[in-house]
Structure 1
Amino acid sequence: MHTTKGDSRLASASEIREIVGPIDDEVIARILDIEPTVEDVRRACEWLRADEPQLRNPESSSGRKAEEVFEILDDESPDFDSSGRPG
């Protein structure tokens, strides 16, 4: 599936899995409850994968839904491997 940066469509379960990688259905459901856009999920994953501490701080930028997705992913999958996928 090809999407563009800044994708403002609501993210589906399959798109979340495509962006995040393998993840439990319960976590997907929690993320879907927030009704994030594809871009919100991408942004949250970028924060999780960032090497620089200041880049891992979602509070430094806008996007409340992206922050909420980040918090869920960070709680559920705090350790991302070198490929940027939950480990």
Structure 2
Amino acid sequence: NALADDILMARARLFINQKDYARAVISLKKIADEHPTELWGDDAIFILGDIYDNNLNDKAQAKIYYQKIITDHPGSLWINEARKRFRVLRGDATGA
């Protein structure tokens, strides 16, 4: 339900602001797993990739989430950034 996703996303953003990435991941995964096609679905997936990439230093997990945007959400506003970051992690592009 949309309200539950709004609450989960608000909680995730709060945890991110507090640098509590483990708890942010829990909220974001709940959105991504239970409502991937709802309003916050692609946002949650991209933010998961970003957290794994830039905060938890788990590049393999980050690639999985960026790939998920590319394959499952081709119309997402995040698609270009996800492609760029995926290529960088794969090693065939620079961050520029």
TM-score (norm 2): 0.30
Bigger fraction of residues in helix: 2
Higher relative contact order (CA closer than 8 Å, sequence separation 6+): 1
> Which is higher, the Rg of structure 1 or of structure 2?
2
